[in-house]
Amino acid sequence: MYKNISYTMDQKWYEIFFYTRCIVRMG
């Protein structure tokens, strides 16, 4: 269960990081 949560968090952080990079590039 812990592994699953960790994976979900990693995926979420990666999504946020990618989204932020897109905004920075567009801005």
The answer, yes or no, to whether residue 27 has pLDDT greater than 80, is: no
Token pair 């949560």 is found at 5
More confident of the two residues 25 and 7: 25
The answer, yes or no, to whether residue 1 has pLDDT greater than 60, is: no
| Mean pLDDT on 1-25 | 83
Per-residue DSSP letters for 1-27? Answer: -HHHHHHHHHHHHHHHHHHHHHHHHH-
φ, ψ (nearest 5 deg) of residue 12: -65, -45
Token pair 């995926």 is found at 11
Q: What is the pLDDT of residue 20?
A: 94
Q: What is the pLDDT of residue 26?
A: 84
The answer, yes or no, to whether residue 6 has pLDDT greater than 80, is: no
| Mean pLDDT on 7-22 | 88
